[in-house]
Structure 1
Amino acid sequence: MRNVYFNHDGSVDDLVSLLLLLQMKDVHLTGVGVVGADSYLEPALAASRKIIDRFGHGEQLDVAASDSRGVHPFPKEWRLDAFSLDALPILNEAGTVHAPVATQPAHLDLVAKVQATDGPTTLVMTGPLTDLARALESDPSIAKKIDRLYWMGGTFDGRGNVAEPEQDGTTEWNAYWDPEAVKTVWDSQIPIQMVGLESTRQVPLTPAIRQHWAQLRQHPAIDFIGQGYALVPALQHFETNSTYFLWDVLNTVASEFPDTVTTKQVMSDVLTTGPGRGRTFETPDGRPVTLVTQVDHDAFFQHIDDLAILADD
């Protein structure tokens, strides 16, 4: 049984990741932190609690609200999706919410849960790294109890997804939200496996995937997945910076099923200033990172189906 702490930022694929983690038989989910980055905090926190209630098989788990703030906020239009997700009928039919809110902010909750857990903890993070950076600054000793960080963020191919003034187009949004936090984590001794934009382009949301989930909607978790992804634009005719790929879900699935992906080691660092701030880049003098390079597309989507169907029990 692996101890896993999950920190996410409340968008569609973050919340789908939470649902899938709750179905993994060898995962002991020790805590969940939510940061209002690619979401607004209140609905993202509420939706997380409702997913635990609805799909958590009775798991007793609290959810920590982050008080971290980004240097470069996500576009408001993207963040609004959290309100729609929180309002989905499948999450609200019970009429009550039982999963409690943690007593400490997310970065301190992370420290407390890592220190209180017997054995090492694996971190799965699908948003900015700010809460982890703050946790390390609060208690550097937690690094010794974290066996690996699985992070969706960054890119090494120079094709970012940030289209903002005074930015050069080479940066990924989770890294751009708080470049200094990425640098703090890179300077730690925590082993990192990174899902960057280059591999996520192999798993776009497409109309065919939407239709596949529609045909399996008799399973409540797949119905939730289909309804959630209905809120965001799929890859149809051409890619824009709003086109949805299964960024976070790829990171989450890869953390459990390593055979789904191919990786390589890169020596890397993080740029914190200038128009490319937040860019992860290769350098011989950098630190080693395990980078996901290839995805078994069909196996990846089969894992999503198989895990979601386990929520029927």
Structure 2
Amino acid sequence: MRRLNWTTIALIGGLVLLVLVVAYFATRGNDDQDKLTNSRTSMANGATNEKACASKATYDLIKRELFRRAAQLRGSDQAAYDRLSAYAVVRMENPVMESEDQSTHAVNCSGSLSLDLPPGVAVVGGRRTLSSDVDYSVQPAADGSGSVVLLRNADAIITPLATLSRVAQAPPASSAPAEQNGIAPQALSGGAIQTPLPPAAPQTPTARPSSGCANARSRGEIAVCGDSTLAALDRDMSIEYGRAVGVATPEQRDQLRQTAQRFYAYRDRCPDRQCMAAAYAGRVREIRDIIEGRWQAPR
């Protein structure tokens, strides 16, 4: 009886040991398999995120955002800018994924952006290609409608884009690409975009800025009085200033007056009309920042 008990105990112990060994190797195999699966998943997600930085859909969102912010800076012509956006071409060189925000699923990217304007329009100075190194984030829209782009460091493109105007004569058809963003050039009428953007007029003493030109003395005053585009920007800035003064607090009115003096001094030192146009666009943005509480005094 005693012998039978020891034999039974030995068999039970061997069985338990076998079960433990099988369980150990089974668990170890599952861990390795999970690690392999996680590694593959991470690689797939990384490839998808890098693709988001360089996809055509992302570039189209960037282009629309550039034109939207330029129209906002100009204070008008939103519909015209929306139409022009369809004919412009965005190129991105060296797009790089910088990081990813796990909480918002935002992919942070950077690259060298170039915007080619359609035939028939140009910014102040006659440029039709605008370039800048930019940072941008691609993330899901809050309403689940797709992706949205947050664009940063793009003022070098947005500010001159706010000065868009028609050019007197469009470039020859042979110099334009056969198709831009899937839209054939036949959509252009006579080689120019039919929009309410103001035409680029030759310099003339009949330009009418916000103040009279009879007593124009400084470099900036003379330039504005002799250029219809700069005169239009001066009027727009003056209107924005008047609106701001009407709703400003006493402290904000002081800030508006102090920054106005600095703006005119800067404008008068500008060497060309392109610099002056950029100064006016920056001034409009500064006025809005003061009223909205975002402005900070320079140190």
TM range, smaller chain: under 0.3
TM-score calculated relative to the size of structure 2: 0.24
Q: Which structure would you say has the larger Rg?
A: 2
Q: Which of the pair is proportionally richer in helix?
A: 2
